[in-house]
Amino acid sequence: MDKIRFNTISEALYIYSASDFKTAVLESISVDELIFISASTEVPRAAFRAAWALEHLLLHSPALLHQYRGQIIDLYTSSNNWSVLRSITKLIIELTKTSSKTTTLLSDEQEEGLLEKTFQVLAAVDCPIAVRCNAYDILFNFTMKYEWLARELRTQIHFDLEKNKTPALSSRGQKILKKIR
C-alpha cells in the first residue's frame, strides 16, 4: 500500500465511530487494507483504529470473518501491539468457539500458532487485563479438543488472581473456572 493511501485511510479511521463500521465502509476501505494497517508498527494509533474497525466489521459479518480467518490468525500471531491485540483477540475468540463452523476449518498449524501466541500473551507481565481475559476465552475454546488445556488454564487463572485481582480479571476468571468444572 502506498504511503498516501495509508495516510488517507488512517485519517479517515480517526473520524469514524463504532456505529460507522458497517459493511458500507468497505466501499471505500477494504478488509485487506485494514489488516495491513493493523499490522503496521509505524503508526500504532492507526494500527489500533484499523484493528478496532476490523473488530466491528467482522464480528457483525461472520461470512467476512470466515473469509479472512487466515489473515486474522496471522495478524494475531505476529502482533505485539496490545491495542491491536485487544480487538483481534475478540475475533480469535469467535473463530475458536466450539459452536463455530470455522473451528473445524483451522489447520493443526493454525491451532498450534494460536495456542503458542496465547500462552505468550499470558506470560507477558505487561499484558493488559482485557487482552488477558480474552486469552482465557481463547484457551477455553480449545479445552474440548485438548483436555490438558483445562488444567493449564485453571492454574493460570488462579496464578493471575493471586497476583492481581482486579474486578474484570476476577469476573472473567471465575466465569471460565465455572465453565471448566
pLDDT digits (tens, 9 = 90+) for 112-170: 999 999 999 999 999 999 999 999 999 999 999 999 999 999 999 999 999 888 899 99
d(CA 13, CA 11): 5
Structurally, how many domains does the chain consist of?
1
Please check whether residue 77 is in contact with residue 117, taking contact to mean a CB–CB distance below 8 angstroms.
yes
d(CA 169, CA 152): 17
Q: In this predicted model, which residue has the larger pLDDT, 132 or 27?
A: 132
- Residue 9 sits in a domain of what CATH number? 1.25.10.10
pLDDT of 181: 82
Give the residue numbers spanning the domain of 11: 3-180
**In this predicted model, what pLDDT tens digit does every residue of 64-73 receive, in sequence order?**
999 999 999 9
The mean pLDDT value for 7-15 works out to 83
d(CA 72, CA 97): 15
Contacts by residues 11-14 (CB-CB < 8 Å, ≥ 24 positions apart): 13/37, 13/46, 13/49, 13/50, 13/52, 13/53, 14/45, 14/46, 14/49
Could you give phi then psi for residue 77, rounded to 5 degrees?
-70, -20
